[in-house]
Structure 1
């Protein structure tokens, strides 16, 4: 796996976060290289204020921090920590970190953007650019050519103005636009919807998974969460919009619940939804974290998890495996990890390897999903 980015007589050592001994995935892609090539051919004025959106692990931040004042905004704590790690390792100049829930500065000279996977999040980011930045501020975005659709370009034209694209290079394409002067429709920060069968009113910020309905895994496990149990110290790991946290709190009114996600918008959505749907939200804690890094060992009696199977645009199971290992570390003796996942992902074998033979059982299953209970040995 390549770790040295070498371009235009510059070299950076870059790693994904968290750094793994047998990493097979690279910390940058050809889109990052295309952006760097473009601004090497058409350089910015030294000292320019550069807003970088969605920099996966800091490759762009490292490059542009050499000569410019960089502001990096991301919705991902993991991306933020990856950028921090790579900036420090390469002894780069310091930059300003912004969460996706923070306002962007108004005096930016250029916006550089890795296009997000979600059109809802892209729409929100374009609206923020239009709302906060001066007219004619240039915007340069990049993505794989087959992921830049006509609908993508129409969003740029709707919220910014005239938009063009580059030729494809290494299967990537650049998008060029700039802040226009035309009036555009207001974009609401939250999407509001209901789950009537569970009497919930939910709000999702723009980058939260499954933005207008329950994902099928969450819908399935909602019917199988423990109720009135002895479990009082509970973690909702990968909480998303907090729907499982709400149900866990309603089912277990004396529990202390920690809602954890690596997405800043997910954590804030969970906070909003718990406040609006649970009678005593003060017993909840909300935190953006890399799985359960830093959580107390052998302290919790229940961890509930609906794991993702991708990191940014990369399909991978290493996040689920890290969640399982971290849960095992955080659970007290006889504590339980409750997991929902697609049946084909092989979680039963993984959990058995971690928790031990005879410690893992199937709680329920349907044609697509399986719910597994893994209990830590006493």
Structure 2
């Protein structure tokens, strides 16, 4: 089965049909970039032994894992969508899902790795967290290759690699992509991990845990702060969803305002859902019903199963800006809400979310706004 609008990756390891997630009818973006191609060409020239143990980090949609499936690599990611895309792309190319061991960002690594291939993530804190977890699984003979598009490789990437792993050398740029080679230094003493980061939520007693890849990790961001000031209390809301929950602060305060409600926390980041669960359990102990799910938006939720959905949609996917994830969230919300159910959305004013919401729901009203943000309520 090939993707409806997949693209073909042509590399020394073979030709592979690849697609992105979430799926869009007229996908214009590729499921791989020039850094993937450069990394795979380098690997082909280096010819790792067939018995070599390979680890891939932050493979956007599985391009590296699929091309290297013959080595049965481990692939570590904080993204559910990345893992799901890897599964679909393996199947689309006639490969067994079992040829790649998918590992979530908080799962422990085991054993020694001969080759480690790292795509630089958007959040450098995530890279720092990953390098600290990785270091005990490297020896001085391990080959560590870091790849990224030049524009996504700030100087801090080199500093992190040299501080935590060892000396680096850099390739020439090729098609605006670059490789960094790291020589692990066994004598380096690792600092303790600074993650998760904790802070006390302003004007409350809630202590919030934030794993490395959580948005606005060190303090409350201004959009969420505005959203929290206007969260609804609705006596008839029995099931409330914090969609794209991050550290779960929105759902946490919604639970406080709606004491009879069950809360459902959903995000595609393993670290976000783990942070949300820790924060909710610390706040309420076992006294409140809640579910925590790593997944693709609301796709796993039953139709007509929620009374209220609270959402601060992401407008980035890795380094791509766009509203496609927000639009998918709005459509799914329409399906998941019960009759008279409400979707509350906060967004930057310029994103104009009220327009697509009006098209989908009909009943849309502005709840609050300031110079930068607007909160919109859509009713089924």
Report the TM-score, using the length of structure 1 for normalisation: 0.96
1:34 aligns to 2:38 (yes or no): yes
Q: Secondary structure at the match of 1:143?
A: strand
Indicate how the Cα distance of structure 1 residues 147 and 134 shifts in structure 2: closer, same or farther if over 3 A, else same: same
Question: Is the 8 Å Cα contact of residues 106 and 134 (structure 1) preserved in structure 2?
Answer: no
The alignment yields a C-alpha RMSD, in angstroms, of 1.4
C-alpha separation in 2, matches of 1:245 and 1:37: 46
C-alpha separation in 2, matches of 1:285 and 1:339: 21
Question: Is the 8 Å Cα contact of residues 246 and 278 (structure 1) preserved in structure 2?
Answer: no
1:323 paired residue among 285, 306, 329: 329
1:74 paired residue among 65, 73, 77: 77
1:248 paired residue among 211, 234, 254: 254
Shift of 1:282: 4.1
Question: Is the 8 Å Cα contact of residues 106 and 271 (structure 2) preserved in structure 1?
Answer: yes
Question: Is the 8 Å Cα contact of residues 239 and 259 (structure 1) preserved in structure 2?
Answer: yes
Unaligned runs of 5+ in 1: none
1:122 paired residue among 104, 121, 127: 127
Shift of 1:97: 0.8
Shift of 1:134: 2.9
Partner of 2:171: 166
Question: Is the 8 Å Cα contact of residues 48 and 69 (structure 1) preserved in structure 2?
Answer: no
Partner of 2:137: 132
2:92 paired residue among 64, 89, 92: 89
Q: Secondary structure at the match of 1:295?
A: coil
Shift of 1:149: 2.3
C-alpha separation in 2, matches of 1:76 and 1:170: 26
C-alpha separation in 2, matches of 1:32 and 1:279: 44
Question: Is the 8 Å Cα contact of residues 13 and 44 (structure 2) preserved in structure 1?
Answer: no
What do the CA deviations read for 1:319-345 (whole angstroms, capped 9, x no partner)?
000000011000011100000000000
C-alpha separation in 1, matches of 2:204 and 2:374: 21
Partner of 1:220: 226
Partner of 1:144: 149
1:47 aligns to 2:51 (yes or no): yes
Indicate how the Cα distance of structure 1 residues 47 and 279 shifts in structure 2: closer, same or farther if over 3 A, else same: closer
Indicate how the Cα distance of structure 1 residues 173 and 89 shifts in structure 2: closer, same or farther if over 3 A, else same: same
Unaligned runs of 5+ in 2: none
Shift of 1:19: 2.3
Indicate how the Cα distance of structure 1 residues 268 and 341 shifts in structure 2: closer, same or farther if over 3 A, else same: same
Paired residues for 1:180-199 under 5 Å: 180-181=185-186, 182-199=188-205
Aligned length: 373
